Amino acid sequence: MYSDAMSTNASERLIEATRELLWERGYVGTSPKAIQQAAGAGQGSMYHHFDGKPDLALAAIRRTADELRAAAERVLGGKGSAYERIEAYLLRERDVLRGCPVGRLTMDPDVIASAELRVPVDETLGWLRRRLAGVVQEGLDSGEFTGPLSAEELASTVVATVQGGYVLARASGSPAAFDTAVSGLLALLAPRTAR
């Protein structure tokens, strides 16, 4: 029983260390040795739980993707109008200068070259677009949003604003660029009565 708990603990530490290192350094910069050091785990422990770096990275990416979806769902599935829920999603607390832990992986050539590692990234961004499109469609159906809007196009615009806002903020070294992008989008989306 003791060894099972230690084994699970080592597996968790390895996944969490890999998540942080992928976010900070990307796939190429995340070596097995760096993972083991960050996790306080030995090489034997790593290869006991995972088939290698790609297997461990996949577990870490999946966990990060699951957490991103859960955080988005908390606000998108919450109370309020369509606009209020989209606003809550756009304004929720983020580490803007670090960027999106899933979105950043799209810039990692090794992740994109690997169909297996790319799948949870693509699935998560696809889920987010579909979930946002559902909220936008609610707003269109209720008359909250008007005009020739496509729910899918607007959802993609929201995702692109967030991901692009991260890029602008990181390039400038200031979250102000992200905040400006979000403010601009919210002004465009604001229901007519709020303008």
Domains of the chain and CATH, by start: 2-194 (1.10.357.10)
Mean pLDDT of 75-81: 97
- pTM for the structure as a whole: 0.88
Identify whether the C-beta of residue 10 lies closer than 8 Å to the C-beta of residue 44.
Answer: no
Q: What percent of the chain has pLDDT over 70?
A: 94
- Residue of higher predicted confidence among 47 and 114: 114
Average pLDDT in the chain: 91
Reported as a single tens digit per residue, the pLDDT across 81-92 is 999 999 999 999
Reported as a single tens digit per residue, the pLDDT across 143-187 is 999 878 899 999 999 999 999 999 999 999 999 999 999 999 999
User: Which residue from 116, 98, 113 is spatially nearest to 60, judged by alpha carbons?
Assistant: 116
- What does the pLDDT read at residue 8? 61
